Chain A
């Protein structure tokens, strides 16, 4: 588009250094031998070993994983439905309210969402625990899923669905056989987003959790309040590694998928 000047190069370098240096320092110092987190005393995986001995962290990790799997799956189903309704269902009574409810949670401060859900759960007499965290996480992450999926649905050619219907498909079969395969990368990206949002959430989980179900972010937060610790550095590094591998795999998968579609188009055209 434009020429790359020295000013551009400097702003790119500084910008990305700012984004990545803090994470890099954290990862490097998780392999530090010393208990003093800011003084390098040699390479060691000691803190990873101690982390694996820490039963409280392992329990919290298990709770977090369960919550993330259930809530992201539920959020993907509901979010895809919501996206389909917004893009395809046309007019219906209360549509404005519906689209408002889909978009508002995206920017709602977490303290408000958390407080309101807690008061709601107490109001209906639901015991707080894993179930309430799953319900809360599903609600806010389904909105992120529906934004991701609806942006894909908007660009997807509607006449393909209509052709399937004309050829005798039921609406459900048309969705299953035509629409779903086409929006699958976006649905998967939405699931992944919902999963990481749930894995990461501190504020809403703190409000909606019960005494028996502590999630990893709650555990990390209470440990971190006392200051920087090498064990938390090790735990953070593990989490960063999982997310990075997951995202890179996902982007490679969707890229191959896109390439595959391009190839199909070419062969179809050649066949004509």
Chain B
């Protein structure tokens, strides 16, 4: 019994100390005043009793977030970029996952491995690889000029287009794998039954295959959407000065402006936006785990 308590306590307290408590500190700092000091903030909260605690709550950093339109524009544009790139990833990932499930059994584990391998390769390097492809004298423009499709180089690097390409590219494995997992489990005789009952192949696809892969689609979309929303590396390397994403705003607020209280407020609001999709995602995972058993 003693051993069991220790076994539970060690990871429990580790996560409490290094995951939960830091969030409470972020919340506390977001209510502080900015100061020219090290660390650059002055705490305004002190615990005496509950009533003085409530009266000390000072939301000026949050009010600031609503006053300067940089912030809400950044939130909106992050939501838009994350949403559209999730749809694009789905449009590219679904046919690939479907084709993998159609492949002969003996190829499948190799194909799986080929999808997973880029995920293990450095994220930073994979984003960096696109800088050489998308720049004005990059490979894409060289190819298009050579093929005679365009006569002057296109400006793609440092625009939102490059950010979309970067997100779709880096998160594609996260979309393919859960969809492939549900398609792989699907019973092929259901399709035969649908076709025997007079469905066309395309009809059977929409009426049987897509609904049966629903859980995979949902899991894949969340796995792309949630991290894409707070993305920092992709907009800062591939995006331009006009690319507004909240992860980048938070970074600049913290490292360039050294405004820790505002950066913390930005983080708290981002977390509030993410709580709903994160909870939906966990529920979907639980449903799937229960259905799998």
Residues of A within 8 A of B (CB): 1-5, 7-9, 11-12, 15-16, 18-20, 22-23, 25-26, 29, 37-38, 78-79, 81-82, 84-85, 89, 92, 94, 98, 100-105, 107-112, 115-117, 119-120, 122-123, 135-136, 138-139, 142, 146, 171-172, 193, 196, 199-200, 202-203, 206-207, 217, 220-221, 224-225, 227-228, 232-233, 236, 239-240, 243-244, 247, 251
Interface string of B74-103 (1 = CB under 8 A from A): 000000000000000000110110111111
Contact A103 B125 (CB under 8 A): no
Which of A15, A38, A138, A202 has a CB less than 8 Å from the CB of B96?
A15
Contact A1 B132 (CB under 8 A): no
Q: Does B126 contact A (CB under 8 A)?
A: yes
Contact A26 B129 (CB under 8 A): yes
Contact B122 A26 (CB under 8 A): no
| Nearest CB on A from B240, distance (A) | 13
Cβ contacts A to B, 21 pairs, < 8 Å? A8-B103, A12-B100, A15-B95, A15-B99, A19-B115, A22-B130, A26-B128, A26-B132, A107-B227, A107-B278, A109-B230, A109-B232, A111-B251, A117-B22, A139-B18, A200-B124, A217-B124, A239-B122, A240-B121, A243-B121, A244-B121
Given contacts A115-B26, A202-B124, A203-B233, 16 further A-B contacts (CB under 8 A): A4-B103, A15-B96, A15-B172, A29-B132, A81-B7, A103-B282, A110-B232, A111-B247, A111-B251, A115-B264, A120-B22, A171-B3, A196-B120, A228-B128, A228-B132, A236-B125
Contact B99 A135 (CB under 8 A): no
Which of B25, B233, B260 has a CB less than 8 Å from the CB of A202?
B233
Cα(A202)–Cα(B7), bound, Å: 32
| Nearest CB on B from A220, distance (A) | 6
Contact A15 B92 (CB under 8 A): yes
Q: A20-B118, A38-B137, A110-B230 are in contact. Are A8 and B237 (CB under 8 A)?
A: no
* Contact residues in B for A98 (Cβ distance below 8 Å): 8, 11-12, 15
Which of A18, A89, A196 has a CB less than 8 Å from the CB of B172?
A18
* Contact residues in A for B26 (Cβ distance below 8 Å): 112, 115-116, 119
Residues of B within 8 A of A (CB): 3-4, 7-8, 10-12, 14-16, 18-23, 25-26, 29, 39, 92-93, 95-96, 98-104, 111, 113-118, 120-126, 128-133, 135, 137-139, 142, 169, 172-173, 176, 183-184, 186, 188, 191, 222-223, 226-227, 229-233, 236-237, 247, 250-251, 254-255, 260, 263-264, 267, 270-271, 274, 278, 281-282, 285
Q: Most A CB atoms within 10 A — which of B14, B22, B123?
A: B22
Cα(A129)–Cα(B131), bound, Å: 31
Contact B118 A19 (CB under 8 A): yes
CB nearest neighbor in B for A3: B102
Cα(A196)–Cα(B123), bound, Å: 10
Contact B19 A104 (CB under 8 A): yes
Contact A142 B227 (CB under 8 A): no
The 4 closest A-B pairs by CB, nearest first: A109-B230, A116-B22, A15-B96, A8-B99
Contact A107 B281 (CB under 8 A): yes
Q: A8-B102, A19-B172, A200-B124 are in contact. Are A224 and B247 (CB under 8 A)?
A: no
* Contact residues in B for A142 (Cβ distance below 8 Å): 11, 14
* Contact residues in B for A233 (Cβ distance below 8 Å): 132
Which of A11, A122, A225, A239 has a CB less than 8 Å from the CB of B98?
A11
* Contact residues in B for A3 (Cβ distance below 8 Å): 102
Cα(A206)–Cα(B250), bound, Å: 13
